[in-house]
Amino acid sequence: MSTKYGLLLPHFGYTATKERVIDQAPQLEEWGFDSVWMRDHLMFQPHEFERQSTKFFEPFTTLTAIAATTKKLLVGTAVTVPFRHPLVTSQLYGGLSLVAGPGRLIAGIGAGTPKKAFDATGLPFEERYRLVRELGEILRLTWSGEKSSYQGRFFQFEGITIDPHPPADTPIWYGGATMSSVKRALSYCDGWMPGRCVFSEFDKLLEYLRSKAAEKGRTMGVGIIPVMSIDRDRETALAKINLEGLLEEARHRKDWTGTFDTADDLAGMLIAGSPEDCVRQIQQFIDRGVDQLVFDFRMRPDEYDEQVRILATDVLPALRVS
């Protein structure tokens, strides 16, 4: 499978608008993007390196609207967090899949980190890894037949049918940039999507994923979501983002080793430079066999439209012919 190119939609933060998030989707498809992705939050709070805003477009209704106005764009969640009842989540995916049609959905799931959403919905934050496992199992179960029954630690039901539901072979990917996340992906999912992850860690995790999958005769999908900044040169592209904020994020990852002092140390987590620089950096993801490369312009929200245009007209065409 060749690498596919997608966008993390700007559905969060002060610049999120219907025009940017939903209405622009047909243009993205015309420009040749393969996919669009959305996060999942309740009571959204930005990272420290982002401008503070609580605006957040919910993923299922938004992606359904996008699927209705496009023909080929794959729609993905990166990732759905288990603060809903899994049967409700299954039904939401069913409606989205019905509108999108076969082959246009990747259901990314993950444990999530904000405790407040779990507290507000009455689910135990400390048990979120068990909750997300039960979510994955229930999605697969209810997408594979009728009158399903399930007996888990947190969720139990008898004779439930979700109709419509996504096709049984709809990919479920696990999100997280840790060895534990890779093991969860191998245990009950079809792919792995670590979000932001430096190559120094990504390569170790990817090697483990592929070796263990091969032992089981499986092939796992792989995605990643680097932050991106395009400009006339690398120096300008880096000057227009909160580089120190990204470095601090990497330094605070207790499971990551190495030093994070310069932009070069963030390779894999950050793509930045001229269009030609970006093509060379993207080639590193292609060489690693990444299936879904999803670009994230969160650090230049006011320039999102222009950044996407440059990516579509000056970067993607060079990759298509390489």
**What pLDDT, in 10s, does the model give residues 99-142?**
999 999 999 999 988 898 999 999 999 999 999 999 999 999 99
What residues form DSSP beta bridges with 80? 109
Q: What is the pLDDT of residue 227?
A: 98
Contacts 24+ apart (CB under 8 A), 56-63: 56/11, 56/12, 56/16, 57/9, 57/11, 57/12, 57/16, 57/21, 59/11, 60/92, 60/93, 60/95, 60/96, 62/9, 62/11, 62/21, 62/22, 62/38, 63/36, 63/38, 63/96, 63/100
Q: What is the pLDDT of residue 274?
A: 98
Q: What is the pLDDT of residue 45?
A: 67
What residues form DSSP beta bridges with 126? none
Q: Give pLDDT tens digits for 291-317.
A: 999 999 999 999 999 999 999 999 999
Q: What is the pLDDT of residue 167?
A: 98
Q: Measured between alpha carbons, how far is 33 from 252 in angstroms, rounded to an integer?
A: 33
pLDDT band of 1, cuts 50, 70, 90: low
Q: What is the pLDDT of residue 79?
A: 97
Which residue type is seen at 169?
A: D
Q: Give pLDDT tens digits for 167-217.
A: 999 999 999 999 999 999 999 999 999 999 999 999 999 999 999 999 999
- Cα separations in angstroms, 110 against 41, 107, 195, 199: 11, 10, 11, 21
pLDDT band of 218, cuts 50, 70, 90: very high
* pLDDT at residue 52 tops 90: no
> Alpha-carbon torsion 25, 172, 177, 122, what sign?
positive
Q: Are 182 and 192 in contact (CB under 8 A)?
A: yes
Q: What is the pLDDT of residue 48?
A: 56
Cis omega (within 30 of 0) for bond into 164:
yes
Other C-beta atoms closer than 10 Å to the C-beta of 252 total 9
Q: What is the pLDDT of residue 320?
A: 84
- Cα separations in angstroms, 28 against 37, 75, 263, 309: 12, 12, 29, 9
Class of domain 4-321: alpha beta
The position carrying tokens 């496009």 is: 70
Q: Give pLDDT tens digits for 56-102.
A: 999 999 999 999 999 999 999 999 999 999 999 999 999 999 999 99
Q: Give pLDDT tens digits for 246-285.
A: 999 999 999 999 999 999 999 999 999 999 999 999 999 9
pLDDT band of 234, cuts 50, 70, 90: very high
Q: State the DSSP string of 187-207.
A: HH-SEEE-SS--HHHHHHHHH
What DSSP state is assigned to residue 103?
T
Tokens in use for 251?
């330094």
